């Protein structure tokens, strides 16, 4: 009885973090593989200048399309096979933010 109450409270607490965590989690499993280190010339996560340059030159819609279709050394969908356009946009925004 006590145990299940603890489990319930624990999962309720987790729920409130699920949204942000799901994005981070997804990022860690997919884009981070290349974008954390800048492998093969990928713009690095937290490199605000590199991302802003691409965002200014091409715009968010093109970046989302290129993430989906692949570009040069980047494979189509960047390993996130169930990502929607919205997900790609959120992931790009996450990578374009200064690293905290
Ligand atoms: C296998 C390595 C790899 C993975 C995984 C990867 N990328 Fe990339 N990505 C690259 C490389 C390399 C480039 C640079 C391409 C170039 O030369 O312009 C790039 C460039 C990009 C660009 C810029 C495209 C442009 O038009 O300038 C976006 C946006 C992007 N990646 C999004 C993502 C997202 C979102 C994910 C995760 C869902 C992801 N990438 C996963 C390798 C990767």
pLDDT at 10: 64
- pTM score, whole prediction: 0.87
Per-residue pLDDT of 76-96, as tens digits, reads: 999 999 999 999 999 999 999
CA quadruple 69, 64, 21, 38: dihedral positive or negative? Answer: positive
Say yes or no: CB of residue 33 within 6 Å of ligand 1. yes
Query: pLDDT below 50 — which residues of the chain?
Result: none
Tokens of 87: 């997900």
Considering the domain boundaries, does residue 2 fall inside one? no
Range of the domain at 31: 19-96
Say yes or no: CB of residue 83 within 6 Å of ligand 1. yes
Considering the domain boundaries, does residue 75 fall inside one? yes
Q: Which atom of ligand 1 is nearest to the CA of 80?
A: 38
Identify the CATH number of the domain in which residue 40 sits. 1.10.760.10
């Amino acid at each position: 009885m006590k145990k299940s109450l603890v489990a319930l409270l624990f999962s309720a607490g987790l729920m409130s973090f699920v949204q942000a965590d799901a994005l981070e989690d997804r990022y860690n499993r997919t884009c981070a593989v290349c974008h954390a280190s800048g492998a093969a010339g990928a713009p690095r996560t937290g490199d605000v200048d590199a991302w802003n340059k691409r965002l200014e030159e091409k715009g968010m819609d093109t970046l989302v399309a290129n993430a989906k279709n692949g570009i040069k050394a980047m494979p189509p969908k960047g390993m996130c096979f169930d990502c929607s356009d919205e997900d790609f946009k959120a992931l790009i925004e996450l990578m374009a933010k200064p690293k905290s």
